[in-house]
Amino acid sequence: MTKPQGIAVLGATGSVGCNTLDVIARHPGRYRVVALSAHRQMDKLFEQACHFQPDYLAVADEDAAAGLRERLALASVRCEVLHGPSALEWIAALPEVEVVMAAIVGAAGLPSALAAANAGKRILLANKESLVVAGRLFMDAVRASGASLLPVDSEHSAIFQSLPADYVGQPDSAGIRKIILTASGGPFRGKSAAELLGVTPADACRHPNWSMGRKISVDSASLMNKGLEVIEAHWLFGVPPERIEVVVHPQSVIHSMVQYRDGSVMAQLGSPDMRTPIACALAWPERIEAGVEPLDFFSLSDLSFEKPDLQNFPCLRLAFDALAMGGDAPAVLNAANEVAVEAFLNGRLPFVDIPRVVAETLSGVGVAASASLQALLARDREARRFAEGRVGAC
């Protein structure tokens, strides 16, 4: 039997993190969980630690770490508990960690994902914000260290699977005309501007097809998620924005497509279950059991396609605008969106004002070149301060 692969799951208690551990648990002996991280939800992390017996846990602060240490000692689980952002970066670069699942939400996931890239790991990238904030820096780090980067976002996994196996980021030489990103349209698809006025966080988090964390659920409702995914696809696949098209496909059966010069369209289909792209990234190029219901073609309703509604859901257009502005504009867009989404979830900002805060921050903060991680994080903080001011001005 081959040696188990050492894996660190960053953001283990989240929706992607839990799905990852679900797939790992189906393959005893194939992976060894070296480390898990979580920000809150200490009960869940404790349960995961008891089950997977990792060597390390990383949590937000010293208090959380102390509480966890006590519980682990009582349960006779031997594992070192670290805390703070630097612990995440340290874990991501450990020599015994071969695979890093980057499943922290938001720009908070960037430093550890980048540490994994610099350390030449096999990175399973769920944290799309890493590429939105630091696309060039991240892709350069992957190339320089020889890391492998496997997308976990279902659309990007679909595109990855629909590209030639030897694809190296040159669409023209691979005969690619377009990347087609599908979007479910989210829970508010078809709603008018007036109907969007009173929507609540609970409404926004009620996604028709996917069960996800709260931040990405709101992003899906505003179409910012698709905007972030356009930027993610641009960096992952080296495709210019004008050759990335978004198509609303409410059934979420086709997870995305690649259109070739000769008229062929390659698509990946499946049930809307994140364990498919997670298993694909974990085992690629092998295919492993993921616990996912096979697609039943006879019970599928029609597959339909629509243009996105950019009038009522301007966040998608704002993401294309940020990409066109270049420099660190996508990092500014992301920071403003994180602030606006948090304010919406806390009842401080109406849903329809999310794009307003993002647009005002983009024009208020402007664009800079910001090439290093430190410079990008400084701009992230600047954009957050500006966006907070715009939320307050509501």
Which residue positions form the known binding site for 1-deoxy-D-xylulose 5-phosphate? 128, 154-155, 184, 207, 220, 225-226, 229
9 binding ligand NAD? (CB under 6 A): no
- Among residues 55, 89, 98, 153, the one that binds ligand NAD under rule CB under 6 A: 153
CA distances from 122 to 58, 147, 320 (A): 20, 6, 29
CA dist., res. 77 & res. 87, Å (int): 20
CA dist., res. 44 & res. 55, Å (int): 17
11 binding ligand NAD? (CB under 6 A): yes
- Asked if 241 and 316 touch (Cβ cutoff 8 Å), the reply is no
- Among residues 50, 77, 79, 108, the one that binds ligand NAD under rule CB under 6 A: 108
- Taking contact as CB under 5 A, which single stretch among the options 49-57, 148-156, 261-269, 300-308 is the one that binds Mg ion? 148-156
CA dist., res. 146 & res. 17, Å (int): 25
**Partner that binds at residue 149, options ligand NAD, Mg ion, none, CB closer than 5 to 8 Å by kind:** none
> What is the size of the binding site for Mg ion (CB under 5 A)?
3
- Taking contact as CB under 6 A, which single stretch among the options 6-14, 188-196, 322-330, 371-379 is the one that binds ligand NAD? 6-14
- Among residues 89, 153, 338, 353, the one that binds Mg ion under rule CB under 5 A: 153
- Asked if 303 and 253 touch (Cβ cutoff 8 Å), the reply is yes
CA distances from 84 to 63, 111, 125 (A): 11, 12, 21
Nearer to ligand NAD, 191 or 215 (CB): 215
Q: What is the DSSP letter of 272?
A: S
CA dist., res. 25 & res. 377, Å (int): 36
- Known binding residues for NADPH: 13-16, 40, 127, 129, 213
CA dist., res. 181 & res. 306, Å (int): 12
CB of 166 to ligand NAD, least distance (A): 26
Assigned token pair, 186: 């989210």
**Partner that binds at residue 204, options Mg ion, ligand NAD, none, CB closer than 5 to 8 Å by kind:** none
Report the b/e string of 163-183 with b at 16+ CB within 10 A: beeebeeebeebebbbbbbbb
- Taking contact as CB under 5 A, which single stretch among the options 3-11, 52-60, 151-159, 382-390 is the one that binds Mg ion? 151-159
**Phi and psi at residue 107, in whole multiples of 5°?**
-65, -20
232 binding Mg ion? (CB under 5 A): no
87 binding ligand NAD? (CB under 6 A): no
- Asked if 274 and 15 touch (Cβ cutoff 8 Å), the reply is yes
CA dist., res. 274 & res. 277, Å (int): 6
219 binding Mg ion? (CB under 5 A): no
Per the rule left: phi > 0, alpha: psi between -120 and 50, beta: everything else, 327 is left
- Taking contact as CB under 6 A, which single stretch among the options 127-135, 137-145, 185-193, 321-329 is the one that binds ligand NAD? 127-135
CA dist., res. 148 & res. 119, Å (int): 11
345 binding ligand NAD? (CB under 6 A): no
> What is the size of the binding site for ligand NAD (CB under 6 A)?
26
Q: Which residues, listed in sequence order, are joined to residue 258 by a DSSP beta bridge?
A: 179, 266
Task: Say if strands 254-260 and 265-269 run parallel, antiparallel, or are unpaired.
Answer: antiparallel
- Asked if 147 and 123 touch (Cβ cutoff 8 Å), the reply is yes
Nearer to Mg ion, 154 or 276 (CB): 154
- Among residues 55, 89, 98, 129, the one that binds ligand NAD under rule CB under 6 A: 129
231 binding ligand NAD? (CB under 6 A): no
Whose CA is closest to 351, among 111, 229, 121, 186?
186
- Known binding residues: 13-16, 40, 127-129, 153-155, 184, 207, 213, 220, 225-226, 229
Please work out, in degrees rounded to the nearest 5, the angle formed at the alpha carbon of residue 246 by the alpha carbons of 23 and 292. Answer: 20
273 binding Mg ion? (CB under 5 A): no
- Among residues 6, 8, 14, 333, the one that binds ligand NAD under rule CB under 6 A: 14
51 binding ligand NAD? (CB under 6 A): no
252 binding ligand NAD? (CB under 6 A): no
- Among residues 210, 241, 367, 375, the one that binds ligand NAD under rule CB under 6 A: 210
The site for ligand NAD (CB under 6 A) is made up of 11-17, 38-41, 103-105, 108, 126-129, 153, 210, 212-213, 215-216, 274
Binding residues for Mg ion, rule: CB under 5 A, are 153-155
